[in-house]
Amino acid sequence: MNIVVLILQILPYILQAVQAIEAALPGQPGSVKKTVLMSALEAAGHAGQAIPEAHVKAVSAAVDAVVGSLSAAGALSHAVK
């Protein structure tokens, strides 16, 4: 499957996951939140069909882009330092 098509198809789910993790872990660093999301993706891969590494990298990049965009728009809280 074309990775661009894949990312566009799962973009709503990435947005929902980012928002859910943000709500569940307010004040935590972004790296912790991303680890949670990527660990969930890895667990899903273990439970079902293996996820190709290229897809994992593409999803990771999409998560970074979504978080960066939402953060720039002021839609995400920032970690307490």
Would you place residue 74 in the very low, low, confident or very high pLDDT band (cuts 50, 70, 90)?
confident
Would you place residue 46 in the very low, low, confident or very high pLDDT band (cuts 50, 70, 90)?
confident
Domain residues for the domain of 26 are 3-72
Would you place residue 13 in the very low, low, confident or very high pLDDT band (cuts 50, 70, 90)?
very high
78 assigned to some structural domain: no
Q: What is the mean pLDDT of residues 58-75?
A: 90
39 pLDDT above the threshold of 60: yes
35 assigned to some structural domain: yes
pTM more than 0.75: yes
40 token code pair: 């969930």
The tally of domains found in the chain comes to 1
